[in-house]
């Protein structure tokens, strides 16, 4: 039990640093989960874009494009010079600037369609990308009418009328499956990043004390077997990590109570608990590989960000290329994310149940694997030091 | 004398393999990860697209044209869009409930779709139906008024014409994903703080043995501080240069053509990073591990706010707390790189650089004020 106590004594000494890490990651998880939902909503919901149209052609057709945009989007008037366009974009007064070039109507009439309009937009704007395709669609219809021999006025009128056609969409309520991903989904999506980042900087810095030569050798020359020593130390990490994890779960209860207090909520929590085990053994393993505190901080960043980006936490898996997704399957975060998704769409079928259980199993295998490697490292370093 | 000090500082930094390895490897490894995760989106031609599973219910009067269009889009080829199950209403709803399909397409009484929620696939089905309805209206109109030109006119609809060209005012292709790489560079700059704090730890007698040794050397304190500082900046900046080389030359990420300005931004960035470290390090009352925690937490949160984890974070901040973007060094670094790509004029770039200069000057002055004229009566913590 000596080792167990030393762990917590060190923790007490380092408490200020650990609290700093804890607060930072708490803040990050709240900020990220709040934002995650908004981001994806922008794709699905047809939000109006703040558009400025600079009509340099002033023709019947260019006016029709303007009318289309003013019907469907929010038009903002800005001055037509480079500096003000740049400034308005930077301060987000407009998200999208459409420049209708001189010769626009002439281009459509003569079939020179390429690049007859230009746009400048806020680079991170998803809705801007959607507007691109809407404008392309409108212009291709307009050109079709013109090519068919309609007059400019008629073509403009027809295209505008066409743009009002919408498909009839009915919503079928499936019990249990919500229309969009729940807030709990987003909160728990970012948990692996938060757990790895926080525990690796917090717990990792304490584990490093045990890797110092003097203390390490002192423990090694006692009668305690390697496995027992490592298990006790891991248990101590576990107790502390569990407390940190519990705070995050409580926070999720506080923020998204309606989502969490369901059967699904329990599965989300269970999934994060299983991942906590993975995170702990991973951190335990890494603590053998770095020597200084600063190196530990850097390693924590590389590992937490790397696992998150490649595992589908910050970038959805469906956006990645097939070969990268294949590679991601060797990362524990991939299975966590897949499971998180499965839980969110869980409607109590046996098949889903099996999938979720299987994913839990795979996550646990990672936890065991990391611990076994840690044990090996613990021993092989011993050889290195004596030899 | 100064060169001698600098030489030994560099030697000692390069001998600390553990830290140095991470300083150089960390940005490269993360850059590679970013590239792998986004590579697909950056060269967006190859998209990991799975056919959208739908059910087709054609009870009542069927629309033969629609059915043939749907069939052609669900043929088992490379550009397959849909995976159609033709079935009755009851079965289709059952499939939708189980989540096997993303929507049910009905042709009677009118063309419509039933979905169970939002999602990219649902948007695809909806826009497919809308496109069909629009094209149908166009065919009918042209067919009834100008039937002789129908064929040539509608061929435009199926062509993929790029009417709309995205421009930026400096003629570089901006990509929304560049923000992640900008933030990575900012983070690498801020990580210079670890070396900065290490540098001042090594000259404070109450913090390290080497500090005590150097305290009794007859070298001018300012020279010693400056040599250590410069050493840290050189090492940090070289890691940034390697990162730039890796990103621009090897991964071929477009940073624009204004390379000298980009390199200057990186330099000022590492000056700020190292100065942040020297400032934190100069507060001699707090322990080294706490300093490490402060710097690590600070670089993390500042990088987060500049868009390291969520690309458009800087824009969100700009909406809610614009002042934060003006004083956050990581946001300033990303903003410099962004404005070099985005704007023709250098106004924005120079104002960012000016603010960064002021921040660096404040941090350096602060460290100097904290470090100067330190005398130690005794240094109990070490011996």
Least confident interval from A111-115, B186-190, B302-306, B344-348: B344-348
B79: closest CA of chain A, how far (Å):
16
Q: Which pLDDT value is given to residue B205? A: 81
Q: Which pLDDT value is given to residue B49? A: 62
Rounded CA gap, B291 and B177, in Å? 33
Judged by CB atoms closer than 8 Å, whether chains meet at B163 and A205 is answered as no
Which residue of chain A is at minimal alpha-carbon distance from B345?
A83
Q: Which value does ipTM take for this structure? A: 0.76
Write the residue in B36, B142, B289 that is nearest to A324 by C-beta: B36
> Which one has a higher pLDDT value, B243 or A84?
B243
Residues in chain B closer than 8 A to A318 (CB atoms): 48, 120
Helix (H), strand (E) at residue A143: helix A126-147
Interface A–B counts its CB contacts (< 8 A) at 303
| Residue with tokens 């987003």, as numbered in its chain | A186
The model carries a pTM of 0.78
Which residue of chain B is at minimal alpha-carbon distance from A163?
B134
**Mean pLDDT (chain A, rounded):** 84
Q: Nearest to residue A337, comparing CAs of A186, A144, A121? A: A186
Which residue of chain A is at minimal alpha-carbon distance from B32?
A306
At residue A181, does pLDDT exceed 50? Answer: yes
Judged by CB atoms closer than 8 Å, whether chains meet at B310 and A39 is answered as yes
Least confident interval from B46-50, B85-89, B108-112, B260-264: B46-50
pLDDT band at B153 (very low <50, low <70, confident <90, very high): confident
Average pLDDT, integer, range A79-86: 80
B254: closest CA of chain A, how far (Å):
14
CB contact residues (below 8 A), chain A span 283-342, against chain B: 290-295, 297-302, 305-306, 308-310, 314-315, 318-322, 324-325, 327
A313: closest CA of chain B, how far (Å):
10
Judged by CB atoms closer than 8 Å, whether chains meet at A137 and B131 is answered as yes
Residues in chain B closer than 8 A to A322 (CB atoms): 48
Q: Which pLDDT value is given to residue A192? A: 92
Rounded CA gap, B103 and B25, in Å? 47
Domains in chain A, please, with CATH? 2-40+181-386 (no CATH), 46-162 (3.40.1710.10)
- Beta-carbon contacts of residue B34 (< 8 Å; ≥ 6 apart): A309, B180, B181, B184
Q: What confidence tens digit (pLDDT) does each residue in A228-280 have?
A: 888 898 899 999 999 999 999 999 888 888 878 878 888 899 999 999 999 99
Write the residue in B120, B137, B318 that is nearest to A165 by C-beta: B137
On whether the CB atoms of residues B199 and B229 are closer than 8 A, the answer is yes
Judged by CB atoms closer than 8 Å, whether chains meet at A308 and B112 is answered as no
**Which one of A42, A50, A301 makes the best mutation probe of the B interface by having the most chain B beta carbons within 10 Å?**
A301
b/e for B161-174, b at 16 or more Cβ within 10 A? eebbeeebbbebeb
Which residue of chain A is at minimal alpha-carbon distance from B173?
A123
The answer to whether residue A71 neighbours chain B at the CB level (below 8 Å) is no
Q: What confidence tens digit (pLDDT) does each residue in A279-292 have?
A: 999 999 998 888 88
At residue B309, does pLDDT exceed 50? Answer: yes
Judged by CB atoms closer than 8 Å, whether chains meet at B294 and A43 is answered as no
**Mean pLDDT (chain B, rounded):** 83
Residues in chain B closer than 8 A to A158 (CB atoms): 138, 141
Residues in chain B closer than 8 A to A121 (CB atoms): 166
At residue A178, does pLDDT exceed 60? Answer: no
pLDDT band at A173 (very low <50, low <70, confident <90, very high): low
Residues in chain B closer than 8 A to A172 (CB atoms): 93, 96-97, 104, 114-116
Judged by CB atoms closer than 8 Å, whether chains meet at B166 and A121 is answered as yes
pLDDT band at B47 (very low <50, low <70, confident <90, very high): very low
- Beta-carbon contacts of residue B283 (< 8 Å; ≥ 6 apart): B291, B370
Q: Which pLDDT value is given to residue A36? A: 66
> Which one has a higher pLDDT value, B228 or B206?
B228
Rounded CA gap, B304 and A286, in Å? 24
Judged by CB atoms closer than 8 Å, whether chains meet at A322 and B48 is answered as yes
Q: Which pLDDT value is given to residue A387? A: 33
Helix spans in A212-331 (H): 213-220, 226-255, 257-260, 263-286, 293-311, 322-328
On whether the CB atoms of residues B163 and A136 are closer than 8 A, the answer is yes
Q: Which pLDDT value is given to residue B25? A: 87
Beta bridge partners of B84: B54
Domains in chain B, please, with CATH? 2-41+175-371 (no CATH), 52-158 (3.40.190)
Largest CA distance in chain A: 96
At residue B45, does pLDDT exceed 50? Answer: no
At residue B48, does pLDDT exceed 60? Answer: no
Q: Which pLDDT value is given to residue A242? A: 94
β pairing state of A168-171 and B112-115? parallel
What three-state secondary structure class fits A171? strand
The answer to whether residue A43 neighbours chain B at the CB level (below 8 Å) is yes
Q: Which pLDDT value is given to residue A272? A: 93
On whether the CB atoms of residues B202 and B208 are closer than 8 A, the answer is yes
B297: closest CA of chain A, how far (Å):
6
Q: What confidence tens digit (pLDDT) does each residue in B267-307 have?
A: 999 999 999 999 999 887 788 788 888 888 899 999 999 98
At residue B46, does pLDDT exceed 50? Answer: no
Average pLDDT, integer, range B65-94: 80
**Which one of A36, A84, A297 makes the best mutation probe of the B interface by having the most chain B beta carbons within 10 Å?**
A297
Residue B87: C-alpha distances to residues A168, B54, B59, B60, B116 (Å): 20, 10, 9, 13, 18
φ, ψ for residue A193, nearest 5 deg: -60, -45
> Which one has a higher pLDDT value, A150 or B50?
A150
Q: Which pLDDT value is given to residue A239? A: 93
The answer to whether residue A184 neighbours chain B at the CB level (below 8 Å) is no
Judged by CB atoms closer than 8 Å, whether chains meet at B159 and A140 is answered as yes
At residue A82, does pLDDT exceed 50? Answer: yes
At residue A303, does pLDDT exceed 80? Answer: yes
Average pLDDT, integer, range A27-32: 86
Q: Which pLDDT value is given to residue A174? A: 59
The answer to whether residue A139 neighbours chain B at the CB level (below 8 Å) is yes
Judged by CB atoms closer than 8 Å, whether chains meet at B152 and A35 is answered as no
Residues in chain A closer than 8 A to B176 (CB atoms): 123-125
> Which one has a higher pLDDT value, B123 or A175?
B123
What three-state secondary structure class fits A52? strand
Q: Which pLDDT value is given to residue A382? A: 59
At residue A220, does pLDDT exceed 90? Answer: no
Task: Let me know how long chain B is.
Answer: 383
Write the residue in A43, A168, A292 that is nearest to B110 by C-beta: A168
Q: What confidence tens digit (pLDDT) does each residue in A109-144 have?
A: 888 888 888 888 876 566 777 788 888 888 888 888
Judged by CB atoms closer than 8 Å, whether chains meet at B194 and A299 is answered as no
Which residue of chain A is at minimal alpha-carbon distance from B119?
A44
By CB neighbour count within 10 A (0-12 exposed, 13-18 middle, 19+ buried), where does B322 fall?
exposed
Judged by CB atoms closer than 8 Å, whether chains meet at A86 and B296 is answered as no
């Amino acid at each position: 039990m000596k080792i167990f106590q030393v762990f917590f004594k060190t923790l007490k000494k380092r408490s200020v640093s650990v609290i700093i890490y804890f607060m930072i990651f708490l803040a990050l998880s709240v900020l990220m989960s709040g934002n995650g939902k908004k981001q994806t909503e922008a794709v699905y919901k047809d939000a109006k874009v703040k558009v400025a149209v600079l009509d340099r052609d002033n023709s019947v057709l260019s006016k029709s494009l303007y009318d289309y945009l003013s019907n469907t989007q929010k038009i903002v008037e800005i001055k037509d010079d480079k500096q003000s366009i740049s400034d308005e974009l930077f301060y987000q007064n407009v998200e999208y600037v459409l420049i209708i070039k001189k010769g626009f109507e002439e281009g459509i009439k003569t079939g020179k369609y390429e690049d007859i309009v230009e746009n400048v937009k806020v680079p991170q704007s998803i809705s801007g990308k959607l507007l691109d395709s809407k404008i392309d669609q409108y212009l291709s219809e307009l050109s079709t009418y013109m090519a068919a021999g309609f007059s400019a006025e008629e073509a403009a009128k027809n295209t505008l009328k066409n743009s009002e056609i919408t498909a009839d969409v009915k919503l079928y309520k499936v019990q249990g499956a919500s229309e969009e991903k729940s807030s709990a989904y987003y909160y728990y999506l970012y948990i692996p990043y938060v757990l790895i980042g926080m525990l690796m900087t917090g717990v990792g810095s304490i584990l490093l004390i045990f890797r110092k030569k003097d203390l390490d050798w002192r423990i090694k020359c006692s009668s305690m077997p390697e496995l027992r020593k490592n298990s006790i130390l891991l248990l101590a990490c576990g107790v502390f990590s569990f407390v940190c994890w519990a705070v995050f779960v409580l926070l999720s209860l506080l923020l998204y109570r309606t989502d969490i207090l369901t059967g699904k909520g329990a599965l989300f929590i269970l999934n994060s608990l299983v991942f906590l085990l993975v995170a702990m053994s991973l951190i335990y393993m890494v603590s053998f590989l770095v020597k200084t505190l600063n190196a530990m901080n850097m390693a924590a960043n590389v590992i937490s960000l790397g696992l998150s980006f490649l595992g589908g936490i910050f970038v959805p898996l469906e956006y990645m290329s097939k070969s990268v997704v294949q590679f991601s399957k060797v990362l524990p975060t991939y299975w966590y994310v897949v499971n998180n998704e499965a839980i969110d769409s869980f409607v109590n079928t046996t098949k889903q149940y099996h999938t979720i259980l299987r994913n839990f199993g795979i996550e646990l295998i990672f936890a065991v694997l990391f611990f076994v490697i840690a044990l090996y490292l613990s021993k092989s370093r011993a050889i290195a030091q004596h030899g | 004398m100064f060169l001698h000090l600098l030489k030994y500082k560099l030697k000692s930094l390069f001998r600390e393999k553990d830290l140095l390895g991470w300083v150089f490897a960390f940005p490269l490894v993360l850059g590679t990860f970013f590239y792998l995760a986004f590579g697909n989106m950056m060269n967006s031609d190859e998209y990991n697209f799975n056919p959208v599973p739908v059910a087709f219910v054609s009870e009542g009067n069927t629309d033969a044209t629609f059915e043939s269009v749907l069939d052609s889009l669900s043929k088992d080829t490379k550009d397959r869009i849909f995976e159609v199950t033709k079935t009755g209403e009851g079965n289709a709803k059952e499939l939708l409930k189980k989540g096997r399909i993303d929507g049910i397409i009905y042709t009677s009484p009118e063309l419509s779709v039933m979905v169970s929620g939002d999602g990219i696939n649902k948007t695809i089905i909806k826009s497919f139906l809308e496109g069909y309805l629009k094209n149908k209206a166009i065919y009918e109109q042209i067919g009834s008024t100008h039937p002789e030109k129908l064929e040539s006119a509608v061929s435009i609809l199926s062509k993929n014409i790029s009417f709309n060209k995205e421009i930026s005012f400096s003629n570089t292709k901006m990509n929304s994903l560049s923000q992640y790489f900008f933030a990575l560079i900012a983070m690498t700059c801020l990580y210079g703080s670890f070396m900065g704090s290490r540098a001042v730890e090594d000259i404070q007698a109450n913090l390290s043995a080497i500090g005590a040794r150097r305290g009794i050397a007859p070298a001018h304190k300012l020279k010693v501080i400056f040599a250590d500082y410069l050493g840290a900046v050189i090492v940090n900046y070289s890691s940034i240069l390697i990162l730039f080389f890796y990103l621009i030359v090897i991964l071929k990420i477009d940073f624009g053509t204004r390379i000298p300005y980009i390199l200057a931004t990186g330099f000022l960035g590492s000056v700020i990073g190292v100065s942040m470290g020297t400032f934190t390090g100069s507060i001699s009352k707090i322990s080294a591990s706490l300093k490490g925690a402060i710097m690590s937490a600070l670089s993390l949160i500042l990088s987060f706010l500049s868009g390291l984890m969520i690309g458009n974070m800087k824009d969100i901040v700009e909406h809610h707390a614009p002042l934060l973007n003006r004083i956050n060094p990581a946001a300033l670094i990303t903003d410099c790189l962004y404005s070099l790509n985005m704007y023709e004029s250098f106004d924005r770039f120079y104002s960012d650089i000016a603010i960064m200069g002021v921040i660096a000057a404040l941090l350096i002055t602060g460290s100097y004020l904290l470090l100067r004229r330190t005398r130690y009566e005794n240094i109990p913590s070490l011996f």
